[in-house]
Amino acid sequence: MNELIAKAAILHEALPYIQRFHRRTFVVKLGGHAMTDQKLKESFAKDVCLLRYVGVQVVIVHGAGPQISNTLEKFGIESVFRGGLRVTDDATMEVVEMVLGGKVNQDIVNLICGFGGRGVGIRGSDDHFIRASKMPPVEVVDDQGNANEVDLGRVGKIDRIDPAILDNMISDGFIPVVAPLGIDERGSSLNVNADTAAGRIGSSLEAAKLVLMTDVEGVKDDKGELVRSLRARDAERLIANQTIRGGMIPKVECALQAVDAGVEKAHIIDGRIRHALLLEIFTDEGVGTEIQRIRD
């Protein structure tokens, strides 16, 4: 009986959050182990369906880095990275479109539909809702310390998001699952960063939350302790003093850009934890790091 009462208490704890976010929009970037571990994928799909049934409007943006690399290897195409970004020639782009906009996207949609949600896949090039342009050459330092400019090929930077198609899907009760493929003015598709796409989509929809699912707990302080809540100015300070470093920097910068552009809060959470999305949103303590736009 005590266990049942404890479960009821958890529902009571969630109630004010359900009330607050009813009919609000969350944009969730799905990545890391939460995309490659089948049990985590199923858990995530169930969580998204639960959110939708309690009135939260969810948009999912996903990556597909490991899946793209595996498929390229099967086709005998070498994966080339410069400055942490994939060099995307025409042959690689064909695989990116096939994997990112095809199998990976539909796998997520099918899981959501299988648990009673109304998932629908969409690529950023559909209805031209993610407008992008080719990223200029990036400066990369080689092993000898020499700086060189590298052309990343068909990698894009986002110029504009037109959220009309997503608004219509959300209004009709669907859960959009977005493959981050942009399209340029000539109608050519471009590979765009999934975190960046999620942030820009979040701001275009004036989302209540942007959630970045990663393979780390969240932001750590200089003592290695998880920071539960972080103001924008403090996040910038932690980047400047190199407490935040490596792969966490672009994620925090993405979160900062999103809250500056209208997203109420951004969250960086560990997708390796089952139900991390629900625990972060519907419990008082949460499981990751929330970033707020407050700068004062």
pLDDT at residue 285, rounded to an integer? 81
Give the Cα separation of 98 and 286 in Å (integer).
36
Total domains in the chain come to 1
The neighbour count for residue 116, using CB atoms within 10 Å, is 12
In a domain, 223, yes or no: no
pLDDT digits (tens, 9 = 90+) for 211-236: 999 998 888 888 888 989 888 888 88
pLDDT at residue 246, rounded to an integer? 80
Q: How far is CA 263 from CA 108, 253, 260, in A?
A: 24, 13, 7
In a domain, 234, yes or no: no
Domain that holds residue 192: 2-212
- Interior angle at CA 290, CA 217 and CA 62, nearest 5: 70
pLDDT at residue 2, rounded to an integer? 64
Q: Which two tokens stand for residue 281?
A: 């949103």
What pairs with residue 290 in β-bridges?
229, 267
In a domain, 82, yes or no: yes
If you write DSSP's letter for every residue of 1-23 in order, what string do you get?
-HHHHHHHHHHHHHHHHHHHHTT
pLDDT at residue 247, rounded to an integer? 82
The neighbour count for residue 23, using CB atoms within 10 Å, is 9
In a domain, 246, yes or no: no
pLDDT at residue 275, rounded to an integer? 93
Regions of the chain with pLDDT less than 70? 1-2, 4-7, 83, 142-144, 294-296
pLDDT at residue 6, rounded to an integer? 67
In a domain, 222, yes or no: no
Backbone angles phi, psi at 172, to 5 degrees: -85, 5
The answer to pTM > 0.85 is: yes
In a domain, 265, yes or no: no
Backbone angles phi, psi at 74, to 5 degrees: -60, -35
What CATH code is carried by the domain that includes residue 62? 3.40.1160.10
pLDDT at residue 7, rounded to an integer? 65
pLDDT at residue 236, rounded to an integer? 86
In a domain, 224, yes or no: no
In a domain, 54, yes or no: yes
